[in-house]
Chains A and B, each alone.
Chain A
Amino acid sequence: MTQMTFARAINAGLRKSLENDPKVVLLGEDIGALGGVFRITDGLQKDFGKHRVVDTPLAESAIVGTAVGLAYRGYRPVVEIQFDGFIYPAFDQIVSQVAKLHYRTRGAVKMPITIRVPFGGGIGSPEHHSESPEAYFTHTSGLRVVTVSNPQDAHTVIQQAISCDDPVLYFEPKRRYHDKGEVDESLDPLSAMPMDQARVLAEGTDVTLVAYGPLVKTARDAALAAEDEGISIEVIDLRSLAPVDYDTVVASVRKTGRLVVTHEAGQSGGIGAEVAASITERCFYYLEAAPVRVTGFDIPYPYSKLEMHHLPGLDRILDGVDRALGRPNSLSGLEG
């Protein structure tokens, strides 16, 4: 076990993948000499060369589009999108090509591409640097979408994503990059928990609280705070957003009878909506209350002075827990 930051854990995972498979190549803006704007690829170009850790011109569609060509050639490209809000120029290549080529070619052409996306807010950045665009991609069949919430997962899941024969969007919570944690680098990605499984982080009996990425830490803090009031929260780190591991969430909700889902992304058409709908379908007779969503608002990501109003924090999550439990809350007395 080694203490390392989230950022370092991803870096070490990338290094292992580069070492283990000569077909792994990294593409992105500023990922070479600089090591990426977040230093996630620090030192990799120096050790693996310019043909395996490629500084590209500034064109996101081309970064993903050339990754498609490399995959056609048998490579296993790992693409860095510098910031969440910069992914949209690549949207067509991701949705129309990366996601569909395996289907289009009836399985003849594999697209083992990993697209790393630093996402989420809370870092005081200007516009386009704090977005949560995951739902655009979970709505696209052919893609797998995963998030990580702690250094160990960051380290293991990046290796699992790279070795997966399907394309994977790997969302990294950038405001947690400097968080430290224990990482077992010897953990074999093949024997570790598969990346498409959810993890129960804390068992509880009163409410199931589902979170992913940056809000997993907030959700755990909320559960600890709720203990003081005698409320027992079961916290689930969703990890995979496409597909969602409903078996784990269903088992929890059948036990607690109540569901709260939280994410930074806006509410409408989001992951929370999908989880709430699916759990309602599968657990209707177990539910004691309507599922509750505690999410960002349906607004463009706001300027940094106000971003903490947009991001669900510990107290807003607990307010949602109170709603699920029918305890007094900020919306008490409102109907519907």
Chain B
Amino acid sequence: MSTDETGQDGTGAPNTGAKSAAAKADIHGQGKGLVQLITPSGERVSHPEFDPWVQDITDEQLCALLEDMTVIRRIDVEATALQRQGELALWPPLLGQEAAQVGSGRSLRTDDFVFSSYRENGVAYCRGVDLTDIVRVWRGNASSGWDPYSINMATPQIIIGAQTLHATGYAMGIQNDGADSVAVTYFGDGATSEGDVNEAMVFAASFQVPVVFFCTNNHWAISEPVRLQSHIQLADRAAGFGIPSLRVDGNDVLAVMAATRVALDRARRGGGPTFIEAVSYRMGPHTTADDPTRYRDANELEDWAAKDPISRVEALLDRKGLLTEALKQQVKVKADAVARDMRTGCTTMPEPQPMDVFKHVYSTPNSWLDRQQDHYARYLASFGDPAEAVSEEGAR
């Protein structure tokens, strides 16, 4: 906000200064109106409205959710290590957001379709992605890790918020087909400022299509805090579009699952879109190229570390007497195996071939590109070894 010399902002209202900004910051945290079923200390608290939606979750399934979250964290740590070791060019960590991704991802049906951002690698894991495919893009070997139809999850979107429109359009198709599957789109707090996200909610409401807007409020859009994006809680924005919303503790896997099931159920019954705000925190950097110490306070990180999604499920299982050495060992073995497979897949991935750059630009022959392709093939052939044709700075 810019202020003029009289200390007032452009609206002519008195400049209320830092005190007001601090007060507003609180509204985005885990406070009022938040659905929570497991407290940070691992206590299962009852919630008459949402308990019924997760009453079928057995102890065994709770252990499976713990395993999922632990595996995903292990994937995240391993990928970060691969980046530091030069095996990946970049990685967008999801540390701290495991419950939001597993609670929602494990609520979906196979025939539901996910349109996500680049940070939902945990959701991709829940969809059954091949582990090598998770890192393919980040190694620079392809622009897409997987065939979207193989796991019913679109190629993760890098343009912020663009995928929300794709989900809405896909849901229009579901509606036309008379199916009861759902399109689910994931995006962050920063994306809520994008025109596409707002337009997607207009269309979704207008046509009452089966789409779930899953907003992970991780508090930071690179260096910009959520309070810069919105002066009201993100969930409250949905009302302006005529879309019901839920505000849920995004670090509570059961609460996320309950909220997602509510939204999916509404969509399947023809009740239209739902907006979910999962309040969480990005414990790591935006990507491995980011340095969060330049813009955020270490105390904030400490506060959120105390609300960790994995330790609270461990604490809950411990209270139930289920956090046995055998379980811990089983989870660790699984996480290690997944990390090892991913690392092997990453480092043994076949290198793309030079002429691959021309593939799939079009699905039909194109005279312009065919000519360029032909000329470049001749150029490459003029070198004994095609590898000699390029230097650090491009084609010689």
Whether B199 lies near A73 (C-beta < 8 A) is no
Chain B residues with CB under 8 Å of A102's CB are 360-363
Contact of A51 with B by CB under 8 A = yes
A245 and B196 contacting across the interface, CB-CB below 8 Å:
no
In the complex, B143 has a CB within 8 A of chain A: yes
Give the segment of A62-70, A252-260, A302-310 that binds chain B. A62-70
Write out, one digit per residue, whether chain A residues 272-311 have a CB within 8 A of any chain B CB (1) or not (0): 0000000000000000000000000000000000000000
Contact A68–B362 (Cβ < 8 Å): no
Kindly state the separation between the CA atoms of A89 and B183 in the bound complex, as whole angstroms: 24
Question: How near does chain A come to B314, taking the closest CB pair, in angstroms?
Answer: 38
Is A107 a contact partner of B359 (Cβ separation < 8 A)? yes
| Given A69-B183, A107-B363, A244-B368: A92 in contact with B159 (beta carbons within 8 A) | yes
Is B206 a contact of A70 with CB atoms below 8 Å? no
Q: Check A70/B173 contact, CB under 8 A, given A92-B159, A104-B155, A164-B364.
A: yes
With A56-B203, A243-B367, A246-B367: A68-B169 Cβ-Cβ less than 8 Å: yes
Known: A62-B202, A110-B363, A244-B368. A69 touches B143 (CB 8 A): no
Contact with B along A237-275 (1 / 0, CB 8 A): 000001111110000000000000000000000000000
Residue numbers in B under 8 Å from A106 (CB-CB): 142-144, 147, 359-360
What separation, in Å, do the CA atoms of A103 and B363 have in the docked complex?
Answer: 9
Within 8 Å CB of B149, what residues of A? 108-109
Chain B CB count within 10 A is highest, among A69, A104, A105, A110, for A69
B162 near A65 with CB under 8 A, answer yes
Contact A165 B148 (CB under 8 A): no
Does chain A have a CB within 8 A of B113?
yes
For B169-184 the 0/1 string (1 means CB < 8 A from A) is: 1111111110000010
**Across the A-B interface, how many residue pairs have beta carbons closer than 8 Å?**
151
Tell me the nearest residue of chain A to B362, going by C-beta: A166
Q: Which residues of B contact A103 (CB under 8 A)?
A: 143, 359-361
B168 & A69 in contact (Cβ 8 Å cutoff): yes
Give CA–CA (A59, B154) in the complex, Å: 23
**Complex: how many Å from CA A73 to CA B115?**
12
Which residues of chain A are near B367, meaning CB under 8 Å?
Answer: 196, 243, 245-247
Q: How large is the interface on A (under 10, 10 to 19, 20 to 34, 35 or more residues)?
A: 35 or more
Task: Give the number of chain B interface residues (Cβ < 8 Å).
Answer: 44
Which residue on A lies nearest to B211, using beta carbons? A69
Of the candidates A25, A62, A100, A196, the one whose C-beta lies within 8 Å of that of B199 is A62
Q: Which of B148, B203, B362, B364 contacts A109 (CB 8 A)?
A: B148
The answer to whether A142 has its CB under 8 Å from any CB of chain B is yes
B165 part of interface (Cβ distance < 8 Å): yes
When the two chains form the complex, which single residue of B183, B196, B362 contacts A142, counting CB atoms closer than 8 Å?
B362
Q: Nearest Cβ in chain A — how far from B101, in angstroms? A: 21
The reply on A93 being an interface residue by CB < 8 A is yes
Asked if A57 is an interface residue, CB under 8 A from chain B, the answer is yes
- Shortest CB-to-CB span from A277 to chain B, Å, is 13
CA distance A106 to B369 in the complex (A): 16
B257 on the interface (CB 8 Å rule)? Answer: no
Judging by beta carbons under 8 Å apart, are B361 and A105 in contact? no
A287 to B249 alpha-carbon distance, docked (Å): 72
Which of chain B's residues have a CB closer than 8 A to the CB of A25? 176
**Chain A residues with CB under 8 A of B174:** 73
Of B115, B155, B202, the residue contacting A59 (CB under 8 A) is: B202
Give the residues in chain A near B369, CB-CB below 8 Å.
Answer: 141, 243
Question: Taking the complex as formed, is A72 at the interface, i.e. its CB lies under 8 A from any CB of chain B?
Answer: yes
- 18 interchain pairs, CB-CB under 8 A: A57-B203, A66-B165, A66-B166, A66-B172, A70-B169, A72-B166, A73-B173, A75-B176, A77-B169, A97-B159, A97-B162, A102-B360, A103-B360, A104-B155, A105-B155, A108-B144, A144-B366, A246-B367
Give A residues with C-beta under 8 Å from B: 25, 51-52, 54, 56-57, 59, 61-62, 65-75, 77, 89, 92-93, 96-97, 100-110, 141-142, 144, 164-166, 196, 242-247
7 closest Cβ contacts across the A-B interface?
Answer: A69-B169, A65-B165, A66-B169, A73-B173, A62-B199, A69-B170, A243-B368
In addition to A105-B360, A245-B367, 16 A-B residue pairs with Cβ atoms within 8 Å of each other are A57-B199, A62-B199, A66-B165, A69-B165, A69-B171, A70-B170, A70-B172, A73-B177, A75-B173, A75-B176, A102-B363, A103-B359, A103-B361, A108-B147, A108-B148, A144-B366
